Every structure is written in structure tokens, then in C-alpha cells.
Structure 1
Amino acid sequence: MTRRVVITGVGVRAPGGLGAKNFWELLTSGRTATRRISFFDPTPNRSQIAAECDFDPEHEGLSPREIRRMDRAAQFAVVCTRDAVADSGLEFEQVPPERIGVSLGSAVAAATSLEQEYLVLSDGGREWQVDPAYLSAHMFDYLSPGVMPAEVAWTVGAEGPVAMVSDGCTSGLDSLSHACSLIAEGTTDVMVAGAADTPITPIVVSCFDAIKATTPRNDDPEHASRPFDNSRNGFVLAEGAALFVLEELEHARARGAHVYAEISGCATRLNAYHMTGLKTDGREMAEAIRVALDLARIDPTDIDYINAHGSGTKQNDRHETAAFKRSLGEHAYRTPVSSIKSMVGHSLGAIGSIEVAACALAIEHGVVPPTANLHEPDPECDLDYVPLTAREQRVDTVLSVGSGFGGFQSAMVLRRLGGANS
């Protein structure tokens, strides 16, 4: 018998909406959380805007020692974990610890602290040979990405499999896929899974600036992220996190848990083509979608909503539009598609999990989030991208996709428990 995986707890920290409730209110209102970078002086950069979180670790309940020890991304992950655990209602101490695991995704891990420490060690970059006398006692925590999922494991007392998944911008989807595999195969009954990234640092901003991936629309930050719009010219960098409590279905049913959605199919493919380039036919993403649908045992016509990667770059928007047509056929033209990156930006490895939170809430509330700032659709992007305004409709089955540097293409199917074909 196949073991099924469901979401029973959600924790979110996203730009403009700390907590799942505020996050959902932001999305359904069509508001954007993009602004001029405030964490440092962005003036030297071509792109000077981002989607920042108004995150206060002390207000979030972290102790002074936790704040000193953990990088900002790890802080996000731990706070979201606490929210997801509380939301799930699961008494973790009543679950054998070896049956609890953690799967965390991140693209740049502790980039915030690593850059800050380098600036101290090199005296602001003036010294070529750094001075170890100024080395932080917590440098290992920043250098080793595995420390982040370990922090989450300590938070919930997990003694089962604990892993970091880091494959760029699909990390948030792929960490959930890994967690689902562990539950499905019987290794665990409960997984805390998701992703966190806090990449708004001078070095990361400069790196994306150098390849002109981010938008230079500095005079209008609120409307800078424009997925599928003919005037788009790059994505808006962001930070954020989303963590989930995932359970084996019968484990959740036995305790009468509230279920947001079932994760019924996951797949990832690589294009083996180019570090940043994408083929125009969308074949690799379409293949990931096909496999995810097959694993979910559903037909393409069962998809009620597509949560797009929708980064706001021309090659990506056209690539995934082609992938939707290739995998869903004529049904692609009848299916609403939207990109929440238009409102909360692109938080690299975290965004896939943040988008899954949006998908679960879309199923929960029967609302499709809009694509903000979409006034003039690209003629080559000719699907229903839900422009500007959220749409109320029953949502039973959602397809969420991700695309990342290196050629990664991932897809995930979420379904309402008890909905069509469940």
C-alpha cells in the first residue's frame, strides 16, 4: 500500500506578511512588498530594489544566544518551524524521535553572516590577508550548510534523517520532494520540511547585477516585478522562508489533524544545457510535469490552477509557458496561471516552499492569487495569468513548478484531500 503525504502545519515568513495569515492577505489583495534596499547602501548597483522581510528575531521569540549563534536564514527557518508545529497541533514528544526527520532547502545558506564576517576579518575588504584574531566563534555554523537543518531538528527533537537540499532556485520544491520520499518509503512518519534564504547582501546582489538578471526599475519598486508582462526586465531579489509539518496520511487521520492538502506527485529534471540559459520549447520542465502528474495518477485536465515560477525574465516566462502547453495541451489555455513573485519577489531557494504555502492556502480558501503588475501581456505568453486581481474559484488540484540556474526544472502536484480523484 502506498503511503500518502499530507500537509498539516504551515509557517511562513515572507516580505510584507510575517505569518501565514498576513502572507495570504497580501497575496489575495494583490499588494506588492518590493522596495528600495534598506539593509545596506545599494547605490553602486544597477538594481537597487528587493523584497525585504520586516523580521525582528527578538520579537519573534528567539533568545539572545540563538540570535548570536544563528544566521538570519537559520533564524527564519526556526521561527517558521515553531509556527508550523503549533499550527499542526502535533505533540512531537509523543512521536518516536527516530520517526521524525527534517529536509531543509536553501540556495545560499548563511550568506548573510559569511559576508558580515568577511568584512570584519578583512577590515572592510581592505586587507587581502584576513586576521583570524577577529574570527567569530560561530564561523563553523555559517560555513556548514548542514547546520541549518540541524537547528530545525533540535527545535522539534528529530532524530531521523536530517538533510540540506541545495540546488538553487528549486531547493524549496526539492526539499519537500525529498521529505515526501522518506515518508512514502516508510523511513519516517513525520517530516519538518521547507526552505529558507536571506540573500539580500552586497555580494549576492552584485552577482545577479553583473549578469543583469535583476530589474533596474529603481524608480518604481512597487511595480518592478512584472512576470509575463511585455515590459518586464528582470526579477526582484527577495528573502523569506516557509516550513511545513508533513505527515503520513493515516498518522494524521489517527489524531484528527486538519489537512491543508496532499502532496501527491513530485518530479525534477535537468536540461544539461546551460548554467543560466533555457531552451525555448520547455521540454525538460514539461517532462517534470508529466512525471509528477503520473505519480499523482491524474490527468492534465484535472489541474485547476498552476503556480508558475514566473520570475519576470523573458526567457523563463516563455520557457514555462511552452512547458505548460506541451504538458497540458489545450487544457493549458483553460487553466489559471499566476506568479506570486510579482508580489513577494524571488527568494531563491526559499521561494519554492513559499509558493507551496500559497498553493495549500489556495486550496484551503478557494482563491487563486493574482499576477500583480500585469498590464500588457507578452504576446508569446498567451495563457490566463490572472492579472492584477485574485479570483475566487474552487481549487482541488494545483501544479506548482520551479526553474533554477544549472538547468533544474521541478514540478509538484497538491490536491485537496477528498477532492476529485483523491
Structure 2
Amino acid sequence: MSRRRVVITGIEVIAPGGVGKENFWNLLSEGRTATRGITFFDPAPFRSRVAAEVDFDPYAHGLAPQQVRRLDRAAQFAVVASRGAVADSGIDLAGYDPHRIGVTVGSAVGATMSLDEEYRVVSDGGRLDTVDHTYAVPHLYNHMVPSSFATEVAWAVGAEGPSTVVSTGCTSGIDSVGYAVELVREGSADVVIAGSSDAPISPITMACFDAIKATTPRFDDPEHASRPFDATRNGFVLGEGTAFFVLEELESAKKRGAHIYAEIAGYATRSNAYHMTGLRPDGLEMSEAIRLALEEARLNGDAIDYINAHGSGTKQNDRHETAAFKRSLGDHAYRTPVSSIKSMVGHSLGAIGSIEIAASALAMEYDVVPPTANLHTPDPECDLDYVPVTARDQVVDAVLTVGSGFGGFQSAMVLANPERSLV
């Protein structure tokens, strides 16, 4: 039985280094990094003092003063990016039944920045054991519930169909888009505005990652602090940002003459049921997600032209997914370029999966594989082609992008040229 094929027809990205997908792609293709010393607060008390911050002015991007007052920074990102994706797609949503327009939003930590700030206010800087709620903003409840993100995006685009938030840690950005694909495939929606957003650069987040030594203490050289797959890596750089997409059925997109970036051909997710933060070295669960995503895409592993890695820059993750690529793709893993854009834009937790989908689609758009910045001393245990330092011109018709999250989540997605031959 034939199935509805789902394609990306609109993309917008807000990421460190520049707002907009063009600025985002320029950063990646030029191999520049957007990591720097933290400016949002005084980082002196913390072990890790670097981050990948976004230079973002909500007023310059069309948000009204009341929206800026009401919305957490991550929600602001989501609203601006969702509108941008719709504009990029050229779709006239007014011509659709609003009950057939869906929204899916991924977020790992929700309104962290607002919650952190409001706690400082109601506790008088932490001096009160019993907080005084009368000092809180009237919209505090919306900061407490990540579902408010989906509400805001739905209002922004006029969607009255399925609307949800997916929160699966650092795979939220892949999983929210994967869920959106299923909504279109099963006929529950004709168009879905899908993506993810996180703005976690706050004292509480830094303290949490400091405690488990997951983030890098290399704050004397922020630009080169994120070093996925490099033998000298010692943790990730926290980031922030968002990416949103317009997803619709292939034939419908063709009929309206839409520009098609890529087909989302396969998606799968698994859990290792093993450890909150630990990973088995054999990469079994990630390789199983990859195998199932390829099976759904009806592609053999040797059809993959590029792997957009999770590549966080922690010792165990980089080795874990290297093993997963070998396990799932066999010898083809050694012939396939692999890179981590976290080397340039940091790790924005729940948002990064969608940002990496955007990077994958744009790699197909421009036939360029973005590099792994700061990779100068290869780790012998990470012995694949990680495209060090400099982008590479190459025909890219199929991309595998993967994510790995605390709690044991392992997700994989295959993007492909919709005109490819199925195998």
C-alpha cells in the first residue's frame, strides 16, 4: 500500500552566530564557531564559563512588547522561527482548514531562563526560605508548563489541529519532527509546523552540568572549546536556539509549486533502558534506531552520503555513536563523511535535533558537507571521516542525522532527495 510522503518546504533557524537560515548556513559552511564566554550572567562561580549564545532582539523580529513581556526567551525563538518557516515555504495557510494544520514543538527544559529569573525575584536572591509569590510575573504559570510553547506557535500561525510538545531530552528536536511526519502520513493533518526550541543558558543549568562534569572547563579559549571527536575534548559547550519547518505531503507540495528541501523518509527512536546519563560502548540502541529509520526510508545503508552526528564532544558519546555507525552501516561507515555542527553552535539541548535537521537539509540543498570545527588531534577510537575544520563539496542526496539524550533516548532520521530511486 502506498503511503503519504512528507517533505520539508520551509525552514527557519535562530542559532548562535546569526538569526536566519542564511546566516546559519554561512557559519557552518565557513567552519566558523559561535562559542564565547558567557555574557548573560556572571559565570565566575562556575566550572564551565563558555556558551554559544544567540544575539537576538525580539523587537527587531516583529514581537510586540506584550509578547516580549509574556514569553520566555525559548518561546520567543519558537514564535519567530515558526513564522519564518511559513514565510520561507510560501504557503498560504489561510487557504487551509485550520483544523488540518498541526503544531509540534520539542523542548528539553522549557522556560528555564524565566523560571530561574523568577525564582531569584520571589526568593529575594535566594535569601528567603519561604518565597513571596506576590513578586512573580502574572504569566508564571505559562513558564511552568512547556505546553505553552505549542500554544504560542499555534496562535502565531493560526493552527487549530493537533498541537503538542515533545520533551525527550536532547532528542526532542528530532522526535518532535518525527511525530509531525506521522501526523501527515496518517492523515491527521495536511500541514504541520514542527521544530524545537530551548534557551537554557542560565545559572541553574550551568550548575547542573557542572555537577556531573558534562560541560567543558576550557574557558580560556572559548572559540575552540567545543571539540567533538578530538582526542583533547573534555565536554560540550551549552548553546541555545531553534529551528522550525513546514512539513506537508509531497504531491500537495508539488501541486502548489513549493520548493522542496528534502523528504523526511525515515525516523525511529529507541531507549537503552540502561542509565540516566551513561551509554553502552557498543552503540546497540542507536544502531537499532538507525537500522529502523533506513528500513522505513527503503534505503540501504550504503545510500547515505553524509552523517550529521550527535557529536557532543564528551568522551563516551563520541565513542558510542562511532560504534553505532559502524554497527549499522558496516564498511560504508568508513566511506561516509561524518560531522558535528555542535563544534560551531554548541549543544542547545532539546533544540539541537531540529537545528541539525536544518543543517542536513541545507547540506542537501547546497551539496556541501559542513565540517567538524576544532578537530585537529583525532581520537584513535573515533576513526571515521569526521570532515575536520573545512567544509567539503559533495553531492548529498541522503543524510542520516542522529541524536542521543539523557535517559537513554536514541533517535535517527533519514532525509532524502524525493526524486531518488527507492531500493
User: Which band: TM-score by shorter chain?
Assistant: over 0.9
Distance 2:18 2:374 in 1: 19
Root-mean-square deviation over aligned CA pairs: 0.7
CA positional deviation for 1:417: 2.1
Amino acid at match of 1:166: S
Q: Deviations over 1:182-218 (max 9, x none)?
A: 1000110100001000000000011001100000001
Amino acid at match of 2:398: T
Report the equivalent of 2:291.
290
**1:321–1:383: 8 Å Cα contact kept in structure 2?**
yes
Amino acid at match of 2:51: A
Q: Deviations over 1:248-297 (max 9, x none)?
A: 11121110100000000000000000000000000000000000000000
Taking structure 1 as the reference length, the TM-score comes to 0.99
Report the equivalent of 1:131.
132
Report the equivalent of 1:266.
267
Q: Deviations over 1:233-256 (max 9, x none)?
A: 000000000000000111211101
Report the equivalent of 2:316.
315
User: What does residue range 15-414 of structure 1 map to in structure 2 within 5 Å?
Assistant: 15-414=16-415
Distance 1:420 1:37 in 2: 47
Worse-superposed segment, 219-228 or 127-136? 127-136
CA positional deviation for 1:413: 0.1
CA positional deviation for 1:357: 0.3
Distance 1:393 1:156 in 2: 36
Count residues with an aligned counterpart. Answer: 422
Q: Deviations over 1:99-146 (max 9, x none)?
A: 100000000010111111111100011101011221211011101111
Report the equivalent of 2:419.
418
**1:403–1:409: 8 Å Cα contact kept in structure 2?**
yes
CA positional deviation for 1:420: 4.3
Q: Partner of 1:409: helix, strand, or coil?
A: strand
In the alignment, structure 2 segments of 5+ residues that lack a partner are none
Q: Partner of 2:235: helix, strand, or coil?
A: coil
Q: Deviations over 1:38-78 (max 9, x none)?
A: 00000000100000000111111100011011100000000
Amino acid at match of 1:100: I
Distance 1:132 1:196 in 2: 27
Distance 1:101 1:391 in 2: 36
Distance 1:188 1:420 in 2: 27
CA positional deviation for 1:421: 3.1
Taking structure 2 as the reference length, the TM-score comes to 0.99
Amino acid at match of 2:84: D
Amino acid at match of 1:400: T
Amino acid at match of 1:228: F
Distance 1:416 1:126 in 2: 57
Distance 2:279 2:233 in 1: 17
**1:262–1:415: 8 Å Cα contact kept in structure 2?**
yes
Distance 1:420 1:306 in 2: 20
Worse-superposed segment, 136-145 or 31-40? 136-145
CA positional deviation for 1:419: 3.0
Distance 2:286 2:297 in 1: 17
Distance 1:7 1:84 in 2: 10
CA positional deviation for 1:34: 0.2
**1:396–1:420: 8 Å Cα contact kept in structure 2?**
no
Q: Partner of 2:330: helix, strand, or coil?
A: helix
Q: Partner of 1:268: helix, strand, or coil?
A: strand
Worse-superposed segment, 317-326 or 250-259? 250-259
Q: Partner of 1:359: helix, strand, or coil?
A: helix
Worse-superposed segment, 188-197 or 134-143? 134-143
Report the equivalent of 1:10.
11
Amino acid at match of 2:55: D
